[in-house]
Structure 1
Amino acid sequence: MPVYEYACEECGPFTALRPMSEYDQPCACPDCETSSKRVMLTAPNLASMNANKRNAMAVNERSSHEPISSKSLGHGPNCGCCGSKSKKSKAKVSANGAKSFPSARPWMISH
């Protein structure tokens, strides 16, 4: 159940734990028991949210408007400055163009 804020005209603001089905109904003040209207005095406490979830939500929000891609950064395919360097292939190519992997997988047939 969520916590809602209410303002009593005599006692001031207070909070109450109420079901969501009763969000728009007045609540009795805990001190004087007069019916009080619901108000919004503070913003939601997002700082108490898990940091990983907060960061993921921020990334999703940014990417929904303007996704970042390597093309928007001005880099072409196989750019070596941004990512990890490509690994050298272990394939051995003979003069007739056939590939073989002598050290990694001797049983593999090239195609």
Structure 2
Amino acid sequence: MPVYDYACEACGPFTVLRPMAQFRDPHDCPDCGAECGRAFLTAPRISGMDPGLRAAHATNERSRHAPRRSGSHGAGCGCCSPSKPASAPAAAKSFPKARPWMISH
């Protein structure tokens, strides 16, 4: 269960461990018993995040309104890459230099 922050006007901020289904519901202050609304007291810890994950979040944030489509299909795409010259041997499984560990059947 996550921890949520609440702010009481009389007593100040406090945190409560609650189920995620109840995140919108107000909570009673543990000191005075008044009904308190949820408060956002701390920001997410983005600076301590893994750099790769932080870059992925930044990319997703930039592209959420207008995603860009890449023009290519990626490395090894058969439809866009130029055809390779026929320098390979005629036998389908004869790779003595490229894959010496491969056993031919």
After TM superposition, the score normalised by the length of structure 2 is: 0.50
Whichever of the two has the greater Rg, that structure is 1
- Please state which structure has a larger fraction of its residues in strand: 1
- Please state which structure has a larger fraction of its residues in helix: 1
After TM superposition, the score normalised by the length of structure 1 is: 0.48
